[in-house]
């Protein structure tokens, strides 16, 4: 059965952190849903790139998801953090030990949802004041079902960690600036 990944998009999302991993996961055969968290089916990223989402979060049967992805960016991360539907989904996914992943500033969503207690994580520098514990500063972290990435430069490594956690046997790896299938 094909695994399903929802990438949650809020206005101000970091385009690289959402779209590069989504591309990787689709190439690996995962079903990827670009899900707009707002009422509109189009979402504008932090750098002015407008994306037509595959669906709105409200339309997705979230019990069918195997992973939820929170891209960073500003104000995208804050928009995700301040959305009760997003927080409820993050809590449910984490409670069911499903892949719950955030990159860049988006671990602030995991923090507000209360799923980072006792979890090793990383994030973009500068948001430590919003967190109850200290990020590691590593490029990526995998701690159980929680996966985090440091920022835009970690997009491919982050994608590979999520793919592996979802059981990809393609052995994806990041080498020489290119995503390759091993």
Active-site amino acid positions:
104
Residue 105 CA to residue 176 CA, distance in Å, equals 26
DSSP 100-119: EEEETTTHHHHHHHT--TT-
Pairing of strands 146-149, 99-103: parallel
> DSSP code of 13?
-
Contacts (Cβ under 8 Å, ≥6 apart) of 170: 28, 29, 163, 181, 182
Q: Which two tokens stand for residue 93?
A: 């996914």
Residues comprising the chain, all counted: 182
Q: Given 3-state DSSP classes, what are the helix, strand and coil percentages for the chain, each rounded to the nearest 5?
A: 35, 25, 40
Residue 5 CA to residue 47 CA, distance in Å, equals 24
């Amino acid at each position: 059965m094909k695994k399903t990944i929802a990438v949650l998009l809020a206005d101000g999302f970091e385009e690289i952190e959402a779209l590069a991993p989504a591309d990787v996961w689709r190439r690996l055969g995962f079903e990827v849903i670009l899900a707009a968290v707002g009422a509109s089916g189009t979402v504008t990223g932090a750098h002015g790139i407008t994306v037509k989402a595959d669906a709105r979060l409200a339309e997705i049967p979230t019990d069918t998801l195997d992973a939820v992805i929170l891209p960073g960016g500003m104000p995208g991360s804050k928009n995700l953090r301040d959305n009760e539907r997003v927080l409820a989904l993050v809590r449910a996914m984490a409670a069911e030990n499903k892949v719950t992943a955030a990159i860049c500033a988006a671990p602030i969503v995991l923090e507000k949802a209360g799923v980072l207690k006792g979890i090793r994580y990383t994030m973009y520098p500068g948001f430590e004041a919003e967190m109850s514990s200290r990020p590691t500063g590593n490029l990526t972290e995998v701690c159980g079902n929680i996966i985090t990435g440091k920022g835009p430069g970690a997009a491919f490594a982050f994608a590979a960690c999520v793919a592996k956690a979802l059981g990809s046997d393609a052995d994806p790896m990041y080498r020489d600036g290119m995503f390759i299938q091993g």
